[in-house]
Structure 1
């Protein structure tokens, strides 16, 4: 009982430990998921802001490039230069060639241009164009269109404010921004007032109007965000699962070892109890007989009788020791070197039991077959099976049948009886060392739980197998299958 309590206590401690480790792993995985979720939300917001800035920059650049094209067109804009002696600066004049009225020309100078240029040159023209383009680029970033002339201002206003940025530009730029952050999951860009779903990852809302407060407000929606995050955390999750599997495996292995140890202790106790009974009987008989010889003067016949008793009981002890040692030494000296005549060995086994009060039937092979094996061990194993069939047979007319046959190029030896049989749940464990079918603390049948274990060792050493099935109508049938 103390051992069982200790094992139960160990099981409880192990169960608490495994539960604690499992809870910690779930908490660790959940915390990692929450941190990764917050990081993901931050990254998609930053990427969306970058995408909007990039789309605006591209749109501004397109307008700037158009402006450069216009002022480079000499049929549209005429650029001249003259020297202002009063201000000591070169003045550039821009005039629209296709507009006769209105604000169709402008004059300006460049502070950084110090050369005196009375007539326009290629270098001066390039300088004034680059200066104007630079100013336009700065103004557009501020959302302002500067009207150098009426026509240029109208064209630039139309080119920048009159053309909304296509939705696909935002999509392309957002995909690039996400790629730089190694985010590859699918998304949709929607107008904020049309977004109704909940429980999904969405970005911040950004006004993408070219005039502040007058454009659509967009956001990006991720419907597979959780799946993407789980993909990011796959190694963390896999590691946690692997650790749990290893922990549970260790727990189950330890539990199995403890249970096996407990079972082995129970078998050992039962074996010691049986052995004590088996050894005590002949020792008691020898002791009493020896004392009788010592204390009394007996005639020669009585002395011989007492000595025969002592020899008989000594032989029983010797046989008991030999059988125990045979099971222990089988793995060492079980050389498979003999050529064994199957019918002959069955006949030898049967002859050794004909004197017993049991009907013994032999069903030999129809033709002589020989196998390679260890004759002594195989003979002893068959004798053990027949001994058990006789000892445990409670039938009024006990009957044992030894048969042999072939199937699928294998030798099949069967030993059947008409005894009480063996329950299905015990048909595997009866081959374990020291195991005896439970019968309480009663020793009506002598034995110590090594016979069937020895039989299985012998059969396994011959690369065969042994099984048990029910005999019809009653009893058990042991089936030994050996390679030919």
Structure 2
């Protein structure tokens, strides 16, 4: 894949995904804000409804008690009653006119049906002249000039349609009562339960009434305003407004762990909320697919690069023996050579060696391919690992001498028999040692050792350790050396012969023998390969 085209695809996909996430985030945030606003509006309606119900209930009780009082007759202690009332209403001006005539000294004792801390309400009035009193039903200021007692007395004498007079008097008198006598916790809880259910809200809540910002005794059992402050939102409404439309009382409610309750409450999961959840899920799927796609693209790009390097390396590996064979054939054609039997035989041996070399390269490629497809038939027998190590070292003895290197053996394992294929396991050891030789600049020193480690149930493993004093590898190279076709490079692609299949083949063989291989390396100090493989039946040497 062209590098510029790959970068263009990567940028396009990233921008597209970023746009999708931005739109989805905006959509989700908008829906969550909408749900929060709708929930707050519903709670506000609930609190307003509860407040109105409480005030209506109290007002109805006052009206009922006062009507009973009027209908049954009040206890009036009168010294002289010569007062005649005449009431007329002016519909045009919305005024009521009360005419009084005579002298009256009266004392009215109204029983304390208002539930305040006095035995009775005393109303005394002395009149010795004719009075004409005007008051407007639509003017609150006109009403406020009378005392509550006067208004209560007047409302008993005039039409029931003028309830505003009674309501004004009732509010002034009712506020003398302490809050716990006007409403109870049980009443508020009952009203809240009904109102919340009417709005399809089934959540745990706590409530309390505040008087001038101080919590009163009217509260739910677990109400803790200060502990909850700053955590869950507090919803508040006024309670028992006076004639000035003001109130010292506030009914407050909050929902502990509101977010968790909203998520777990099926009754509050609206269609929009379900859409939000689905949107989050699909967005996560898109992100996962995006990451997976980018990962695959990068992996394929690396594989393509590795395969390209492999082809170049294989071409180089084949080119050398082919060139050698062509050179030898040209030499044999020389009349001076063709008549010399010994030289011809020597050249023919060179052709055979180069041919075998090419054949080995082809076999390596075919072998790793068949291992990948599990088509390679590997027969395993009981073998001594120490013997396999010695055989591998023997194959490389000449190469080590040419490099002025040496191999140090420390084979001390008591249990060294393993179940393995002699050819393939020997080749695996040879590949590791050959790799150590290739990546050692001068005088390679390779140390090979074995040791046993115990496993459970008296079973044992044998550890084969191969260390060198070569160039070493970085952490990044260590993660990749067992990949097919991978070869560490240092500038020139062909500075080390090979095609990157040696260690990949080693790992395949070790895994096939139910073993493990690992590497530990420090740049400039060398590398250590360790193969751990199960001991077969605890056979001893």
Matched residue, 2:465: 414
Matched residue, 1:319: 360
C-alpha deviation, 1:275, in angstroms: 0.9
1:279 and 2:279 correspond:
no
- CA deviations on 1:342-374 (whole Å, 9 max, x unpaired) are 222122212222233132222223435311233
Matched residue, 2:262: 231
Matched residue, 1:126: none
Distance 2:398 2:44 in 1: 97
C-alpha deviation, 1:43, in angstroms: 1.2
Distance 2:50 2:389 in 1: 91
Ranges in structure 1 where 5+ consecutive residues have no aligned partner? 72-76, 78-93, 103-142, 150-155
C-alpha deviation, 1:64, in angstroms: 7.6
- CA deviations on 1:140-178 (whole Å, 9 max, x unpaired) are xxx9997499xxxxxx99x97755632644565235312
1:147 to 1:309, Cα distance in 2 relative to 1, 3 A: same
Matched residue, 1:135: none
Matched residue, 1:386: 433
1:399 and 2:430 correspond:
no
Matched residue, 1:80: none
Matched residue, 1:352: 395
1:225 to 1:411, Cα distance in 2 relative to 1, 3 A: closer
**Bigger mean CA deviation after superposition, 283-292 or 7-16:** 283-292
C-alpha deviation, 1:67, in angstroms: 8.2
Superposition map of 1:47-446 within 5 A = 47-59=46-58, 62=61, 147=156, 163=174, 165-166=182-183, 168=185, 169-170=187-188, 172-181=190-199, 182=201, 184=203, 185-190=205-210, 202=235, 208-209=241-242, 213=244, 216=247, 220-221=251-252, 227-228=258-259, 231-232=262-263, 239-293=278-332, 298-299=338-339, 300-330=341-371, 331-333=374-376, 335=378, 337-356=380-399, 357=401, 358-367=405-414, 369-395=416-442, 397-408=443-454, 409-446=460-497
2:494 is paired with a residue of what secondary structure?
coil
Distance 2:327 2:502 in 1: 30
Q: Superposition RMSD on alpha carbons, in Å?
A: 4.2
2:211–2:248: 8 Å Cα contact kept in structure 1?
yes
2:239–2:251: 8 Å Cα contact kept in structure 1?
no
Distance 1:471 1:49 in 2: 75
C-alpha deviation, 1:454, in angstroms: 0.9
Ranges in structure 2 where 5+ consecutive residues have no aligned partner? 82-150, 159-165, 176-181, 216-228, 264-268, 455-459, 536-541
1:446 is paired with a residue of what secondary structure?
coil
C-alpha deviation, 1:183, in angstroms: 5.6
1:456–1:466: 8 Å Cα contact kept in structure 2?
yes
1:44 to 1:420, Cα distance in 2 relative to 1, 3 A: closer
C-alpha deviation, 1:57, in angstroms: 4.6
1:190–1:220: 8 Å Cα contact kept in structure 2?
yes
Distance 1:390 1:193 in 2: 86
1:362 is paired with a residue of what secondary structure?
strand
TM-score (norm 2): 0.65
Distance 1:472 1:258 in 2: 30
1:9 to 1:473, Cα distance in 2 relative to 1, 3 A: closer
1:201–1:225: 8 Å Cα contact kept in structure 2?
no
The total of aligned residue pairs comes to 412
Distance 1:100 1:36 in 2: 64
C-alpha deviation, 1:383, in angstroms: 0.8
2:481 is paired with a residue of what secondary structure?
helix
Distance 2:318 2:448 in 1: 31
Distance 1:67 1:277 in 2: 115
2:496 is paired with a residue of what secondary structure?
coil
Distance 2:407 2:383 in 1: 22
C-alpha deviation, 1:448, in angstroms: 0.7
1:41–1:203: 8 Å Cα contact kept in structure 2?
no
1:200–1:225: 8 Å Cα contact kept in structure 2?
no
C-alpha deviation, 1:431, in angstroms: 1.4
1:46 and 2:45 correspond:
yes
C-alpha deviation, 1:13, in angstroms: 1.3
Greater share of strand residues, 1 or 2? 2
2:473–2:522: 8 Å Cα contact kept in structure 1?
no
- CA deviations on 1:364-405 (whole Å, 9 max, x unpaired) are 23435311233322111001011112222212x322222111
